[in-house]
Structure formats: structure tokens, C-alpha cells
């Protein structure tokens, strides 16, 4: 089974770090995000990768060439397009069933259990979700506007898509010009073919410099909970 890693992000909120490198090449600890992601899959015996590059893609190619781990790595470059366009462009490089992950997201998802879950559903696509924590405090008050409680950056009873998506290759036939990830997933939903795999373990994503600093410490815990 091939692992498609989306590596075309510009990481605008991480400027100036990402002025000369794509977001997956931002270092966290001693390695770039991309190698953390690939290393996790390799530990689980998944070593056949397709990297969907875009912005500063040559930086990724050079890094892979200079850091050969014996993994099979192919590249797909669709230019400056939406995520679903990158996935579609890689269709001929992918297996009948494949996994799609973000190049800036690290999580200790149980890959074998995820794939088994997907097979059992019989669906075209399974997305992995994670409890949503918002970055703001919530204020609750009564009818007289007297504050009754306050919750700082709570975890909501909502789940967000964190990638780690299992696709049947035939699902890509649903993509038409003008689609983005949302419209594509809506089509899969309407076809009754989209399923959700819930993950409650570690999840690390880096969107700005504050999250980058926090990730340094989170990685230490990640590596003790199923990471490489």
C-alpha cells in the first residue's frame, strides 16, 4: 500500500522560516516534519511513498536524495493547485488502496487498525478525526448576562479531519474540474461512501511559530506513545 504525503504547503504563517523551504521541511527537533511523518510509517512497515510536492519542491527532492533510508520514494508535482488536485494528479502512481497524509501533521494513529477499519466499512474513503480544541476561552452567562462559567481553550464535542485518510483509487473518479477537498468529500458523503476513524492519541500539527515551539516538547511524548 502506498502512502501519499501532501507536501505542497507554503506555510505562510511560519514566515520567515518558510521563505526558502516548503512547510514540511520545517525542522522540529533534529529532523524536518516530513521525515518525522515518513519515519513513523516506516516503523510500521509502510515504506512506499509518493510525495505530492509543489512550493519549493526541489528542496524536498534534494533532501530525500541526500538522506536515503532505503525507502521507495516517487514524486508528483501538480503545481499550485488545491489538495484534491494534488491527489488526483498522483493517481497513476498510487495503489488500488492508499493512505493520504499531510506533510505537516504528526500523529500516532494505529495504521493497521485504521486500514482494517476501512476495509470493514466497504467505503471509498475513510478520514481520521481528532477532538477539536479551540484556541479561545468560552464564556457562559445567564439571562441577566451574569457570567456563570468560563472555559479556557476547551476541547469541544466536535471532531476535525487530521488526514490519515484511506482511499480506494476508484474514489478519484468522482473528482471533476473545479473540485476542492470539501466538494469532493461532499460527493463521497452523498454516495454514502465516507467513513470516520476516531483517533484520541497524540496529534501534532504546526501552523505558526507558537505551535512550532510547543511541538518540540510534544514530540518527546509522541515518541514514547508509539512514535519512531
CATH classification of the domain holding 187? 3.90.550.10
The single-letter DSSP state of residue 86 is H
For the stretch 57-101, pLDDT in tens is 899 999 999 999 999 999 998 887 888 999 999 999 999 999 999
For the stretch 93-142, pLDDT in tens is 999 999 999 998 889 999 999 999 999 999 999 999 998 776 678 788 87
Angle (CA) 15-160-225 rounded to 5° is: 85
| pLDDT bucket at 155, cuts 50 / 70 / 90 | low
Residue numbers of the domain that contains 204: 2-129+158-222
In a domain, 39, yes or no: yes
For the stretch 6-22, pLDDT in tens is 998 776 666 666 677 88
**Is pTM, for the whole model, over 0.75?**
yes
Mean pLDDT computed over 145-166: 80
What total number of domains does the chain contain? Answer: 1
Amino acid at each position: 500500500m502506498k502512502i501519499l504525503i501532501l507536501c505542497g504547503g507554503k506555510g505562510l504563517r511560519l514566515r520567515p522560516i518558510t521563505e526558502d523551504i516548503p512547510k514540511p521541511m520545517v525542522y522540529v527537533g533534529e529532523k524536518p516534519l516530513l521525515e518525522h511523518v515518513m519515519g513513523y510509517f516506516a516503523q510500521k512497515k509502510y515504506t512506499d511513498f509518493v510525495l505530492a510536492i509543489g512550493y519549493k519542491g526541489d528542496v524536498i527532492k534534494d533532501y530525500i536524495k541526500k538522506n536515503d533510508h532505503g525507502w521507495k520514494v516517487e514524486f508528483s508535482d501538480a503545481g499550485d493547485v488545491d489538495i484534491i488536485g494534488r491527489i488526483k494528479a498522483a493517481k497513476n502512481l498510487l495503489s488500488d488502496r492508499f493512505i493520504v497524509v499531510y506533510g505537516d501533521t504528526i500523529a500516532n494513529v494505529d495504521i493497521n487498525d485504521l486500514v482494517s477499519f476501512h476495509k470493514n466499512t466497504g467505503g471509498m474513503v475513510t478520514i481520521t478525526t481528532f477532538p477539536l480544541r479551540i484556541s479561545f476561552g468560552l464564556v457562559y452567562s445567564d439571562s441577566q448576562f451574569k457570567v456563570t462559567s468560563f472555559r479556557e481553550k476547551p476541547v469541544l464535542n466536535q471532531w476535525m479531519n487530521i488526514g490519515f485518510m484511506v482511499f480506494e483509487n476508484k474514489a478519484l473518479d468522482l473528482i471533476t474540474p473545479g473540485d476542492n477537498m470539501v466538494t469532493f468529500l461532499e460527493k463521497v458523503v452523498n454516495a454514502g461512501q465516507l467513513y470516520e476513524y476516531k483517533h484520541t492519541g497524540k496529534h501534532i500539527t504546526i501552523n505558526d511559530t507558537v505551535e512550532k515551539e510547543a511541538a518540540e516538547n510534544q514530540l518527546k511524548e509522541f515518541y514514547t506513545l508509539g512514535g519512531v
